[in-house]
Amino acid sequence: MGVFDLKIISKHFDDPQARHLDHYETHGGYRMAKRATTMAPGDIHGEVKTSNLRGRGGAGFPTGVKWGFVPKDAETVYLVVNADESEPGTFKDRHILHWNPHLLIEGMIIASRSLRVHNAYIYIRGEMQREYRILQDALDQAYAKGYLGKRIFGSDVDLDVTICRGLGAYICGEETALLSSLEGGRGWPRLKPPFPAVKGLWGQPTIVNNVETIANLPWILEHGGQAFADVGVGRSGGLRLVSVCGHVERPGVYELPLTVTGNDLIDICGGMREGKAVKAVIPGGVSMPVLTADELDVPFEFDALQNDARIREVETAPGVKFDLGGNRTLRTMAGSGGVVVMDETTDITMAAWRILHFFADESCGQCTPCREGTGWLTQVAHRVAFGHGRAGDVELMASIADGIAGNTICALGDAAAWPTLAFITKFRQEFEDKVKNSLAHSPSAPSGTGAQAAGAS
Amino acid sequence: MPAKQLTPEIEAWIEQRWSRFPEGAAGKALTLGVLYQAQEAFGHVDTEVIDLVATRLGLTAAHVRGVATFYTMINPREVGRYHLQVCTNIGCMLEGAYKVFEHCKARLGVENKETTADGNVTLSEVECLAACGYGPVAQIAEKGKPEIPLYFEELDLETVDKILDGLEKGEVPTELGR
């Protein structure tokens, strides 16, 4: 098995003892946090750069590079951990918070030392009440031990960590919206630049990192950045937590090498349920373009999913490639690691409608293309899926999506547009057939989801 | 009815948190937290609560109202003793969440976001709860008891009936949660 045996983050998942500080320390916990307080900040940063650690929240941006954007002469720098996991299909950060909260806290101590942070915040989803309590307990334990607060581990380093809870808004997972929310306002994204690393929380340089990203830091410090890079492939270091849901035998959270392909992943999850054939797989949360069954031999790794020619490029019309900007086309992306597996019985038009319904619900309303466009898309997708489609609806959906993409402050607009275009590019016939059936006055009953009873008309 | 006041617990929480934020920023930064706790105390967030929170934190009512209406976990109207929240997003949908949701609607005799006539249960369709591998998933909030942090996972109609039976009797069957 080799690399399959290695577990960087998930070793103590399912062990209810692991969330207690004493137990965490018996497994070597907090040694790296203590070591970090004696290290030069630049040395820690060097290890993170060498490690090829890439952000695990969705964009896959190199963490060491992001940290490097903080101005060297900054007096006040903030660290914010993004624990607002809410991208449908994604449930891996909740596992870290639930089973191993001290791993996150230790990672935060390391990051804070490197970034010269004295006030760090964790923004956690409001719905995660249980994880909030687990995390607060863990923080209290760390404070009691002197691992947080004044002069941590007896050093001259001060660090406070404060939990702030969201109140139910997907958009707050977007880093600038998160900062708006953390400051106590509506979760409205901000234009970039300036990037948060330069001008973030209360106008100060701020690093926003995902839970899983930060949870990798103790291992990186213990084994060295090079070891982490060696575990990965190409420009992507380490392993990756992947959360799998849908029609596989054993859905769940798996920590896997980045070489694992879509087909490997389905095997690891015990194969398809009831021996059914796979029809479609969303590789990184529902905002990412869907893959078909014949595109699953590609490794589920950041660069491969973006560039591998075996994945068909997303189109705005048959034969017309979607322009991602800068002459780039769009295949798909590794996103948040949330994998949704759909079998042959799945009605793709229904899946598309439900995903769009979500984005329309969660649009913050600032930008017209997203605010209006996600609503229009949902209406059209609904009538197509539920058997009331009109001639030209498929083209209309593609046209609305193309009008949203790239024209909004934040990525939520793209998050609705990209999957729409991908569903239509790869399953066009299914959409066309639905419309044809409705035009023939024989509304077809949606299958495989039970959603026909949703009555959301 | 005497004017509402923030509870001593909320006051203590504000006191404890204030210093964690930069000078001049704390009042605003505490908006979400105070609103949520005020909702726990008063059941929902109406104009009176908004004014109360704004005055206490030194903010305009317009700001607090803007925040309160942005976030889905703030209820502008009274909800039932139990707030049953069923996820129907993609992961749960693939596992039959709409069957579960329809069953809840039928048994409770309510539509989405409605409350039973006796004021016992409010039913809401909610978005992803980050438990997609274990769907369909529901969460139950009991008024005045924020300590029910459980997710109810892999729901089928039988389990849902047990949960609804429990709520009818005035208890959350926590043994079915995780």
Q: Specify the fold of A348-451.
A: de novo design (two linked rop proteins) (1.20.1440)
CATH number at residue B121: 3.40.30.10
In this prediction, residue A3 carries a pLDDT of 52
Contacts of A358 in chain B (CB under 8 A): 89-90, 127-128
What is the average per-residue pLDDT within A93-100? 96
| Domain ranges, residue B120 | 82-176
Distance from CA of A391 to the nearest CA of B (A): 27
Rg (CA), chain B: 18
Q: Is the Cβ pair A129, B146 closer than 8 Å?
A: yes
- In three-state secondary structure terms, A162 is strand
What string of DSSP letters covers A232-293?
SBTTB-S-EEEEEEESBSS-EEEEE-TT-BHHHHHHHTTSBGGGPPEEEEESSSTTSPPEEG
Residue A105, strand partner residues:
none
Nearest residue on chain A to B87, judged by CA atoms?
A: A88
Cβ burial A27-39 (10 Å sphere, 16+ → b, else e): eebbebbebbbeb
Rounded Cα distance, A405 and B7, in Å: 47
Q: Let me know whether B133 and B156 are in one domain.
A: yes
Residue ending a domain, choose from B39, B70, B101:
B70
B contact test, residue of A91, A288, A358, A447 with most B CBs within 10 A = A91
Choose between B108 and A4: higher pLDDT: B108
Contacts of A86 in chain B (CB under 8 A): 127-128, 130
Q: Let me know whether B166 and B86 are in one domain.
A: yes
Distance from CA of B97 to the nearest CA of A (A): 8
Rounded Cα distance, B123 and B121, in Å: 6
B43 within a domain of the structure (yes/no) = yes
| Nearest CB neighbour to B94, from listed A129, A130, A346 | A346
Q: Is the Cβ pair B132, A90 closer than 8 Å?
A: yes
Cβ burial B131-165 (10 Å sphere, 16+ → b, else e): bbbbbbbbbbbbbeeeeebbbbbebeeebbeebbe
Q: Let me know whether B53 and B90 are in one domain.
A: no
What is the average per-residue pLDDT within A239-250? 97
In this prediction, residue B3 carries a pLDDT of 78
Q: Is the Cβ pair A88, B91 closer than 8 Å?
A: yes
In this prediction, residue A447 carries a pLDDT of 45
pLDDT above 70: residue A442 = no
Q: Let me know whether B88 and B165 are in one domain.
A: yes
Q: Let me know whether B106 and B163 are in one domain.
A: yes
Q: Specify the fold of A239-346.
A: Ubiquitin-like (UB roll) (3.10.20)
B131 within a domain of the structure (yes/no) = yes
Rounded Cα distance, A146 and B54, in Å: 36
Residue A361's CB: how many other CB atoms inside 10 A?
16
Rounded Cα distance, A159 and A152, in Å: 7
Nearest residue on chain B to A358, judged by CA atoms?
A: B127
Contacts of A452 in chain B (CB under 8 A): 98
Q: A71: which 2 tokens?
A: 């101005």
Q: Is the Cβ pair B36, A167 closer than 8 Å?
A: yes
Contacts of A446 in chain B (CB under 8 A): none
pLDDT above 50: residue A167 = yes
Say if A177 is an interface residue toward chain B (CB within 8 Å).
no
B3 within a domain of the structure (yes/no) = no
- In three-state secondary structure terms, A10 is coil
What string of DSSP letters covers A101-153?
HHHHHHHHHHHHHHHT-SEEEEEE-TT-HHHHHHHHHHHHHHHHHTSSBSSGG
In this prediction, residue B2 carries a pLDDT of 59
Q: Let me know whether B159 and B103 are in one domain.
A: yes
Residue ending a domain, choose from B70, B90, B112:
B70
| Nearest CB neighbour to B71, from listed A86, A167, A182 | A167
Domain edges within chain A: 2-231, 239-346, 348-451
Residue ending a domain, choose from B36, B70, B104:
B70
| Nearest CB neighbour to B98, from listed A94, A119, A451 | A451
Q: Return the DSSP state at A340.
A: E
B97 within a domain of the structure (yes/no) = yes
Secondary structure of chain B in the HEC alphabet?
CCCCCCCHHHHHHHHHHHCCCCCCCHHHHCHHHHHHHHHHHHCCCCHHHHHHHHHHHCCCHHHHHHHHHHCCCCCCCCCCCEEEEEECCHHHHHCCHHHHHHHHHHHHCCCCCEECCCCCEEEEEECCCCCHHHCCCEEEEECCECCCCCEECCCCHHHHHHHHHHHHCCCCCHHHCC
Nearest residue on chain B to A121, judged by CA atoms?
A: B20
Q: How far is CA A322 from the centre of its chain?
A: 23
Residue B144: pLDDT band (50, 70, 90) is: confident
Q: Specify the fold of A2-231.
A: Rossmann fold (3.40.50)
> Domain total for chain B?
2
Alpha carbon distances (Å) from A76 to A79, A148, A297: 10, 18, 46
Contacts of A166 in chain B (CB under 8 A): 32, 71
What is the average per-residue pLDDT within B33-50? 94
The string of pLDDT tens digits covering residues A71-82 is 999 999 999 999
Range 298-337 of A in CB contact (< 8 A) with B = none
B2 within a domain of the structure (yes/no) = no
Q: Let me know whether B65 and B122 are in one domain.
A: no
| Nearest CB neighbour to A129, from listed B89, B132, B149 | B149
Contacts of A251 in chain B (CB under 8 A): 132-134
Say if A126 is an interface residue toward chain B (CB within 8 Å).
yes
**Average pLDDT over chain A, rounded to whole?**
94
Q: Let me know whether B97 and B125 are in one domain.
A: yes
Q: Let me know whether B89 and B172 are in one domain.
A: yes
Q: How many contacts does A have with B, using Cβ atoms within 8 A?
A: 158
In this prediction, residue A373 carries a pLDDT of 98
Q: Let me know whether B126 and B163 are in one domain.
A: yes
Pairing of strands A78-83, A119-124: parallel
Q: Let me know whether B62 and B98 are in one domain.
A: no
A25 Cβ neighbours under 8 A, 6+ residues apart: none
The structure tokens 């990798």 sit at A216
What is the average per-residue pLDDT within A144-161? 97
| Nearest CB neighbour to A362, from listed B29, B94, B127 | B127
- In three-state secondary structure terms, A225 is helix
Q: Let me know whether B40 and B106 are in one domain.
A: no
